[in-house]
Structures are given as structure tokens and as C-alpha cells.
Structure 1
Amino acid sequence: MPDSPVAPEKARKFAACERQALYDVINARRDVRNEFLPDPICPAMLRRVLEAAHAAPSVGFMQPWNFLLIRDPVRRRAVHAAFEQANAEAEAMFDGEKRSQYAALKLEGILKAPLNIAVTCDRTRGGKVVLGRTHNRDMDLYSTVCAVQNLWLAARAEGLGVGWVSIFRQEDLRALLNLPDHVEVVAYLCVGHIEESFAQPELQARGWRRRLDLDDLIMEDRWPGTHGAGG
């Protein structure tokens, strides 16, 4: 227990230019695949990005994340091979024109980016009973996703691009990263310097999907309709 009572401090107020900088970074964030430069990442810059990720909110302050920094070319080629196999399976799931569109997409930068980072979730961290996780076991996974988002935004502010590669068989990736049973991969990220970036999300630019209208996604108090309690 602390020796003296803990009380909140006066909340910092941010200037308009600081607020705008945050929104600019959010709106400039992209899922980078083919734009990586080969330049190595400065250790101090990488540390700042990881510190930002580590500052993410977590339920019960359990901080369930770890960051596996993957630079070894042999291991990365093995990860890329696992992606290629899973990607062929994914392509076969689409029909007609969508399959052709999918085949034309560049969906990873595993070998091109100078650094890969696997963000994992230790599902035992914090013990058997964790404040805030008592009724939803997956809150540790959600907390780890918050760390991924922090990492992504901090990287963009530093001039780095990040690409999230999700097309893997989990068992393949677990084996390649030598993960213990209680640890899960939440995100496999490709990270590196960029000089070019799409003005809009690449999948939107290439006609795969469009951004939904925010007004169509906002509801008040409950889901519309007459179903459920109080409907």
C-alpha cells in the first residue's frame, strides 16, 4: 500500500495544435505493405514506439503484452512461407472477380520491411482472477489490441509505416515463434521507414471496400428495433 493517499492531479489541457496533430496522425495511418524502405530503424525511435505501446490501457492493469522483435532473415522467410500457404487457401475462398482482385493485392511486407514485430498476449498474466476480467475472459486480448493501436500511431508519428499481417494458420505461427501454450499471437506487424503512403486506405483506393458513413453507425441508448428486453 502507498505511504500516503493517492489523489488525481489536475488534468492537462492540450493546445489546439496538439489536438490537431493527433487527429492528423490518426487520419494518416495506413496499413503498409509494399512501401517499406530498407533503412534500419534507430534504436531510440523503436524504443519510443514500444514505450507508446506499453502505455496502452489494460484491464486490471494486467499489461498482458510482449513484443517479439524478429530480424533474423531465416525465421522471416519461414514466416513468409507460412503466409504464402495460408494466402493460397484464402484466395480459394473468394469467387469470380473477387478472387482475381484478391490475387492482385499485395498483403504483406514480411521480407521487405527491416523489422517484424509479433505482439502477443500472455493469458496468465495477473493471476487467475484479474480485476475487470472476471466476467469477460477476452479482456486481455482486447487490451493487447490497444497496445497494437498505440504502436501503430506512434510509428506513424515517427515516420514509420506498419502493416498488420493476419493471414496465417495460428498453429504455424505459434510453432515458428516458439510460443508457450498460455501465450497467443494478437498481431504480426511489419515495420519500417516509408516515403510514400496512400492518401486513402489502399483497399478503398483499389476498389475492394469503401469507408462506411459514420452517421450510419451511430445509435443512441440501444440497438434500434423491437427485439430484446425493453423493445
Structure 2
Amino acid sequence: MVSFDDAFRRQLQELFVWRRDVRRFRTDPLPDGTIERLIEVACLSPSVGLSQPWRFVIVDDAARRRAVIEDFKTCNADALRSYSGERAAKYAALKLSGLEESPGHLAVFADKTDHIGSGLGRATMPETTEYSVVAAICSMWLAARAEGIGLGWVSILNPARIQEILEIPDAWKFIGYLCIGTPQAECDRPELEKAKWESRRGPGEFTIRR
């Protein structure tokens, strides 16, 4: 059995502390094979019924990228209109995607066809398929940070439009669109906390006993 010492555990804790949802990227291209290597790590993640429902789409085509960026702009404008006053001004000042700067674009989907994993573990909670894909993204996120690579999860998108742009099978559910590249700077605080949008709270606020 492999064992991990205290030094490793301290470094692992530091990795968690320094993981960021990156929005500001350098435009330098990633080394060849970087995204494929991160996908390999993601595929080591646990999945319900060993279904491995994650599906990764590396988006290299310039026209498709432009279409994704335009969809983000449309969705972001709609979101801005849902706020008012000071909150609207704060929202407008936020940088909520790195789509135009990041050299890597990766769309992630969950294959919800019934045959994968033979349905094990999903009879009462079918959403565990999507949870499995989220776990894979988190593994990729940490692996990227360990290499000094930034990852930003863009959620202000229309899932149906993304399916259309990328010509994805109907049985695949859109989970997230990831920007991948070298961050302009590193920080141990979330950008939304620095912008005073929200504050990170301690675990005591979210934990109860029964």
C-alpha cells in the first residue's frame, strides 16, 4: 500500500489553498499534449457504477470558439439585467470568463445513456452521473494547478446552444466549459472575494451534527 508522509500532506493542503478559478490568462500556447494529459488525470476519478460518464470535447476550431464567446456575451448581458443598483455595477465590473485569452478550450459533458455502468447506483439518484463528471473536473483542476496551469469554469452559457455549436449527441448533458492556460498572476484568495462580491466562510457555518 502506498503511504503519504506529513510533508506530502502539507503540500496537498497548499494545493487546495492555491487552487483558483482563473479568469485572467496569458495568451501563450500550452505545451503540446497538456490538455490530453489533464484529461488522463480526470479519468482516474471515481464514477457511479464505474460508468465513467465523462465526455471531453477539445475545442480547437476558431469559428466554434467565436460562437461560444458570442453565446457567453449574450448570456452575460441577460444576467446583468437581472441585477440592479450597486449589485449591477459590481457585476458589470467582474471578469467572468477568459474565453478570448485562454489558449485552451475544453467542453465537458455527461453521457446519460442507460447502458453505461449498467445503471448501477443510479436507480434512486440518477443525478450521480453528473456528480461523477464534476468530480473528474475537480481532479483535473487540481492537477492543472500543480503544474502551474490555470483553469476557469465558465457557467454563463446556454447549454442548448453549446450542444448545437459543438454538434454533440442529445444523450450528452452539458456540464461545463473550461478555459485552460497560464494564469497572469497567482493568488491565494478567490477573485470574487477580492472584488467584494462574496466572502469565503469557514466550515463551521456549513456543518451540523445529528
Q: Which of 177, 186, 191 does residue 166 from structure 2 map onto?
A: 177
Report 1:129-148 matches (<5 A).
129-148=118-137
Bigger Rg, structure 1 or 2: 1
Alpha-carbon distance in 2 for matches of 1:148, 1:124: 20
In structure 2, relative to structure 1, the CA distance for the partners of 1:135 and 1:220 (3 Å cut) is same
Give the corresponding residue for 1:17: 7
Structure 1 moving runs of 4+ over 6 Å: none
Q: Which of 199, 202, 206 does residue 213 from structure 1 map onto?
A: 202
When normalised by structure 2's length, the TM-score is 0.95
Work out the percentage of aligned pairs sharing the same amino acid.
38
Question: Helix, strand or coil: the match of 1:43?
Answer: coil
Length, aligned pairs only? 210
Give the corresponding residue for 1:42: 31
Report the CA distance between 1:198 and its aligned residue.
2.7
When normalised by structure 1's length, the TM-score is 0.87
1:192 aligns with 2:177: no
Q: Which runs of 5+ in 1 are unaligned?
A: 1-10, 222-231
Point out which structure has higher relative CO (alpha carbons under 8 A, 6+ apart): 2
Work out whether residues 108 and 163 of structure 1, in 8 Å CA contact, stay in contact via their aligned partners in 2. Answer: yes
Backbone CA RMSD of aligned residues: 1.4
Letter of the aligned partner of 2:132 in structure 1?
Answer: S
Give the corresponding residue for 1:124: 113
In structure 2, relative to structure 1, the CA distance for the partners of 1:139 and 1:80 (3 Å cut) is same
Work out whether residues 162 and 190 of structure 1, in 8 Å CA contact, stay in contact via their aligned partners in 2. Answer: yes
Report the CA distance between 1:47 and its aligned residue.
3.3
Q: Which moves more between the two structures, 120-129 or 57-66?
A: 120-129
Alpha-carbon distance in 2 for matches of 1:117, 1:92: 28
Alpha-carbon distance in 2 for matches of 1:189, 1:127: 24
Give the corresponding residue for 2:21: 31
Report 1:46-61 matches (<5 A).
46-61=35-50
Question: Helix, strand or coil: the match of 2:119?
Answer: coil
Work out whether residues 54 and 133 of structure 2, in 8 Å CA contact, stay in contact via their aligned partners in 1. Answer: yes
Work out whether residues 62 and 125 of structure 1, in 8 Å CA contact, stay in contact via their aligned partners in 2. Answer: no
Work out whether residues 53 and 116 of structure 2, in 8 Å CA contact, stay in contact via their aligned partners in 1. Answer: no
Report 1:149-160 matches (<5 A).
149-160=138-149
Q: Which runs of 5+ in 2 are unaligned?
A: none
Give the corresponding residue for 2:155: 166
Report the CA distance between 1:44 and its aligned residue.
4.2
Q: Which moves more between the two structures, 183-192 or 72-81?
A: 72-81
Alpha-carbon distance in 2 for matches of 1:64, 1:129: 12
Per-residue CA deviations over 1:5-59 (Å, capped at 9, x if unaligned) read xxxxxx322011111121111110111112x122222234433321111111101
1:80 aligns with 2:80: no
Q: Which moves more between the two structures, 162-171 or 129-138?
A: 129-138
In structure 2, relative to structure 1, the CA distance for the partners of 1:93 and 1:187 (3 Å cut) is same
